[in-house]
Structure 1
Amino acid sequence: MASEKFRRQLRHETELWKAEGLINDSAYQQISDRYQFNSIDSAASNRFVMILIGLGGILLGLGVITFVAANWQEWPRELKIILLLSLFIGLNTSGFYLWQANPKTGKTKHLGEGLLLFGALSLGANISLMAQMFHIGGSPYGLFLVWGLGVLLMAYSLRLVSLGILSILLLGIGYWSGVSNIFVPAELTGLEFLLIHMALVGAILFVPLAYWCQSRSIFIMAVLLIIPALQMNIAVLLDQNFSAELMTIGLILPPALLWSYDDSLFPGIDSRPFRPHTRNLAIWFLGILFFLFSFQGVGKFFVYIGSSQSTAINGFHLILDVILLGGLTIGQWLYLAKPRHSYQHWGLDAVSSTIAVFLGVTALVGFGYQSISVTLFVFVFNILLFLLAGGLVRIGLGEGKRGAFWGGMILLTLQIMSRTFEYNTELLFKALVFVLCGVGVILAGLWFERHLSRQQT
């Protein structure tokens, strides 16, 4: 179904066409039936009613919350438990009923989904207040972790994208609130075990949910939770026992994992709906990495970084995620190079080969960082940044992709301008660089749009 804005514009245009005699009544009626012009006004009316119901529900909820807060301390525990459970069950039951009702028209579907989301939010209040009433101690991050797992169960049960996104947000808040605990030597509890293995847990729980819901948002948010958690484990290991090998793995593993990701590795999935997004994230990861290491200050810190030797804390648990995801990365690259037909040979395509070269050069610099100078270190990453930006521009020109072209232009502009600020240059020279960059971006954009229109023609 086309969007309501398009249908409204189309109805206006077809009425003009009919008045001008360009189409007859029969053609107008066919277009009207196809795009359901009669339902446009009713949809707007239903949306207005939904807004009123939502505002009224918010005010009603605030009134109930205020009343409960005023009498909460005076009520017995049993009444509090009944109220909390009734609120949770009532919201989810009514939300599920409205969400399932009228599947053809979907008039109450959004209201039902809103109530289900409200019910998921009330789950956190239930957990917190129940723990308070029964004097169960706990940390704030534990509340968010348990809350996120409960919402995740609801998301799997109902196949709702909004609940999946809420679950990722709650687990992310819980993880970053309690991530400092994995630096402290202590016996692992269930929640600390979840913190340490958040990369694996996130991959196991949220990636199948993204396919189940067919949601790009869930997949991208899951990746943005998994990759930082993986790097945090490596950072803890480096803090305990610094090594060039582990540091290099921390630099190249995330982009290698993202670039080699292939949806078809999962059973029953023939298409590749999410691979373009992982490859875009890998490109931006490399771009940010090369840009940061192109500065002399970062290069000096990296080359002359001191190593510390301390007792390993939960070393096996920390390295487990790295080993498993590293093994998955190797398997994905082998699958990427595997021939698809009998007449093909093992090998990578041009773009994947270029990414592999970038990763290989980064690994060589990482392994030999102690034996190279800062100047060579910065020079290598400046060259890599320039080649990455040029490659993006070339892909944008060759395949007509605006995102790749402008991404390359942004990296080139940032590289030129940052070098101007980093080194001691005169203000007149800085002004000249700004003018040239501005003119170059304008001319390149105009030329690219003209080139793109020629390609499409």
Structure 2
Amino acid sequence: MITEKFRRQLRTEAKLWQTEGLIDDYLYQQLSERYQFDALEKTASSRFITILISLGGILLGLGIITFVSANWQQWSREVKALLLLTLFIGVNTSGFYFWRQQNTLSNTTNKKQKLGYGLLIFGALILGANIALMAQMFHIGGSPYGLYIVWGLGVLVMAYSLQLASLGVMAILLIGLGYLMGLSAVFYPGEFSWLQFIIEYMSLVAVLLFIPLAYWCNSRIIFFLATLIILLALEISLFRIFDFLNHGLWGAIALTLPPALLWGYDDIILPKVNSRIFQAFTRNLAIWYLSIGFFFLSFRAIWQDFILVNYSEISSEIHWLTLVEVLVFVGLTIWEWLCLARPNKRDAQSWRLDLVSGVILSFIVGTAILCFWHLSINEIPEIATFIINIEMFLLAAGLIRIGLARGIRGTFWGGLVLLTLQIVSRTFEYNTGLLLKSFVFILCGVGVIAAGLWYERHLSLEEVRK
């Protein structure tokens, strides 16, 4: 994005280059026309006027708000509704008009576009106020989470219409806040409504509403927020089924389905998507999920107590649609992994996974078998803890190896931190003396420093060789 500050600095440098003879008058004139050096003085002279207009607009707005507040109680409901709708339509129409203004210089944003962008955001905020005030005026009852969900759906329509990532982020945050506030409708269901349907089946709703918006706006932030909501809602549905059926199979699925879904995700399996925009992100998220999950399950007390707790007093029954929702994600995950193993059309190879995907699949399958055996066949807390710690160590070592081979700092340091956490947590979990803990801390600290310095030196040498 070319800013006014950059153009001013470029004009100063171009004049210096022209004086020193590095560029001739023709090249300076080309730069002046391309970056519109002559328009900089006009912009500077109009800045004071813009500030005065903005200050006057703020004072005018405050005056209008004060006038409306003073006469709000005396006006009829029709007048209030007309005023609110006029304000909403006027602000959004003005915002759309200014936002669609053409730029005289490519890769820049003029002040009119910034004003239009701000008015569109303000219009999205006004939408929430209009919904709340309309409901109050016409005595429409409802829960607070319903307000945020309806508000978020309205902003979501604006985001799809204008293809604005900021409005999409705002819509997801509003719907996500409404979902968190309305989780009681899942655990303590009351009278069925469409809002309750959205809350109970948020994972599918988020897939249908948010994921296409992420591709439409090409926004990683939208995809990240949508993924968080999908995973949270999916985990709640999974553990509700596990608690109701009380079967080890569903416990195993609840622990392993999210990382399997994330790692198997591939953008090109979607229609009209020809590039892998978010696959690297979902795989990184799967590694995070596995790392946190292994660290959580590496404690013996988790397998002895927590993983066997029954929450039947919280959620006594589930609807069959919840089971269908989860089975949809199970089927989607299986389809993703089949697509990963599918042979390439250019090669005559058989169905197989690459090395990294095969290792991740072994982690997922091994953890699922452990959980199923522990919950349904025979309790094996010692064996399960030992195997999980082995998987955690292998994951950390694999991250360190990939970070070294590919020169990815985040992967290397992630594996090193995971390995250090495993060593330190084992020291605290078991009854060890202070002398041994001190030795472990010193050893880990020296090891991290030495590994970090060696890795940075290794990267520097690799860059020099290239």
Q: What TM-score does the superposition give when structure 2 sets the normalisation length?
A: 0.89
Q: Return the offset for 1:245.
A: 1.1
Quote the Cα distance in structure 1 between the aligned partners of 2:317 and 2:291.
33
Q: Return the offset for 1:264.
A: 0.5
Quote the Cα distance in structure 1 between the aligned partners of 2:276 and 2:48.
39
Please, which runs of 5 or more residues in structure 1 have no aligned partner? none
Give the one of 430, 435, 438 matched to 1:423: 430
Aligned partner of 2:439 in structure 1 is 432
Quote the Cα distance in structure 1 between the aligned partners of 2:449 and 2:48.
44
Deviations 1:406-427 (A, max 9, x none): 1111211222222222223333
Give the one of 144, 150, 175 matched to 2:148: 144
Quote the Cα distance in structure 2 between the aligned partners of 1:51 and 1:329.
55
- For the structure 1 residues 11 and 153, does the alpha-carbon distance in structure 2 shift closer, same or farther, using more than 3 Å as the test? same
Quote the Cα distance in structure 2 between the aligned partners of 1:52 and 1:151.
31
Give the one of 244, 250, 261 matched to 1:246: 250
Which segment is superposed worse, 444-453 or 327-336?
444-453
Aligned-partner SS, 1:279: helix
Give the one of 328, 331, 339 matched to 1:327: 331
User: How many residue pairs are counted as aligned between the two chains?
Assistant: 456
Quote the Cα distance in structure 2 between the aligned partners of 1:326 and 1:50.
57
- For the structure 1 residues 74 and 253, does the alpha-carbon distance in structure 2 shift closer, same or farther, using more than 3 Å as the test? same
Q: Return the offset for 1:305.
A: 3.0
- Does 2:160 match 1:156? yes
Aligned partner of 2:89 in structure 1 is 89
Percent identity among equivalent residues? 53
- For the structure 1 residues 445 and 70, does the alpha-carbon distance in structure 2 shift closer, same or farther, using more than 3 Å as the test? farther
- For the structure 1 residues 2 and 86, does the alpha-carbon distance in structure 2 shift closer, same or farther, using more than 3 Å as the test? closer
Q: Return the offset for 1:293.
A: 0.9
- For the structure 1 residues 103 and 317, does the alpha-carbon distance in structure 2 shift closer, same or farther, using more than 3 Å as the test? farther
- Matched AA of 1:438: G
Quote the Cα distance in structure 2 between the aligned partners of 1:10 and 1:451.
38
Which segment is superposed worse, 48-57 or 436-445?
48-57
Q: Return the offset for 1:356.
A: 0.2
The 8 Å contact of residues 95 and 115 in structure 1, kept in 2 or not, is answered as: yes
Quote the Cα distance in structure 1 between the aligned partners of 2:167 and 2:157.
9
Q: In the TM superposition, what are the counterparts of 1:227-306 in structure 2 within 5 Å?
A: 227-302=231-306, 304-306=308-310
The 8 Å contact of residues 241 and 308 in structure 1, kept in 2 or not, is answered as: no
Which segment is superposed worse, 295-304 or 332-341?
295-304
Deviations 1:106-142 (A, max 9, x none): 3121221111111011111111110111111000011
Aligned-partner SS, 1:113: helix
The 8 Å contact of residues 299 and 429 in structure 2, kept in 1 or not, is answered as: yes
Q: Return the offset for 1:345.
A: 1.3
- Matched AA of 1:351: V
Deviations 1:315-342 (A, max 9, x none): 2121122111111111010001001124
Aligned partner of 1:453 in structure 2 is 460
Q: Return the offset for 1:39.
A: 8.3
- Does 2:387 match 1:380? yes
Aligned-partner SS, 2:98: helix
- Matched AA of 2:100: Q
Quote the Cα distance in structure 2 between the aligned partners of 1:54 and 1:421.
60
Deviations 1:187-227 (A, max 9, x none): 42111111111111111111111111111111111111111
Quote the Cα distance in structure 1 between the aligned partners of 2:51 and 2:266.
42
Quote the Cα distance in structure 1 between the aligned partners of 2:383 and 2:29.
69
Q: Return the offset for 1:432.
A: 3.0
Aligned-partner SS, 1:347: coil
- For the structure 1 residues 415 and 115, does the alpha-carbon distance in structure 2 shift closer, same or farther, using more than 3 Å as the test? same
Aligned partner of 1:112 in structure 2 is 116
Deviations 1:90-116 (A, max 9, x none): 110000000001244431212211111
- For the structure 1 residues 243 and 70, does the alpha-carbon distance in structure 2 shift closer, same or farther, using more than 3 Å as the test? farther
Please, which runs of 5 or more residues in structure 2 have no aligned partner? none
- For the structure 1 residues 423 and 57, does the alpha-carbon distance in structure 2 shift closer, same or farther, using more than 3 Å as the test? farther
Deviations 1:354-391 (A, max 9, x none): 10001011101110114243222222221111111111
Aligned partner of 2:69 in structure 1 is 69
Aligned partner of 1:188 in structure 2 is 192
Give the one of 358, 370, 393 matched to 1:365: 370
Quote the Cα distance in structure 1 between the aligned partners of 2:32 and 2:75.
58
- Matched AA of 2:459: L
- Matched AA of 1:86: T
Quote the Cα distance in structure 1 between the aligned partners of 2:419 and 2:38.
50
- Does 2:412 match 1:408? no
Alignment RMSD: 3.0
- Matched AA of 2:91: L
The 8 Å contact of residues 402 and 411 in structure 2, kept in 1 or not, is answered as: yes
Quote the Cα distance in structure 2 between the aligned partners of 1:284 and 1:48.
50
The 8 Å contact of residues 161 and 215 in structure 1, kept in 2 or not, is answered as: yes
- For the structure 1 residues 311 and 169, does the alpha-carbon distance in structure 2 shift closer, same or farther, using more than 3 Å as the test? closer
The 8 Å contact of residues 393 and 408 in structure 1, kept in 2 or not, is answered as: yes
Q: In the TM superposition, what are the counterparts of 1:15-26 in structure 2 within 5 Å?
A: 23-25=22-24
Quote the Cα distance in structure 2 between the aligned partners of 1:425 and 1:48.
70
- Does 2:213 match 1:202? no
- Does 2:319 match 1:315? yes
Aligned partner of 2:138 in structure 1 is 134
Aligned partner of 2:37 in structure 1 is 38
Deviations 1:247-286 (A, max 9, x none): 1111111111111111101122211011000111111011
- For the structure 1 residues 201 and 447, does the alpha-carbon distance in structure 2 shift closer, same or farther, using more than 3 Å as the test? same
Q: Return the offset for 1:73.
A: 2.1
Quote the Cα distance in structure 1 between the aligned partners of 2:209 and 2:56.
36
The 8 Å contact of residues 235 and 254 in structure 2, kept in 1 or not, is answered as: yes
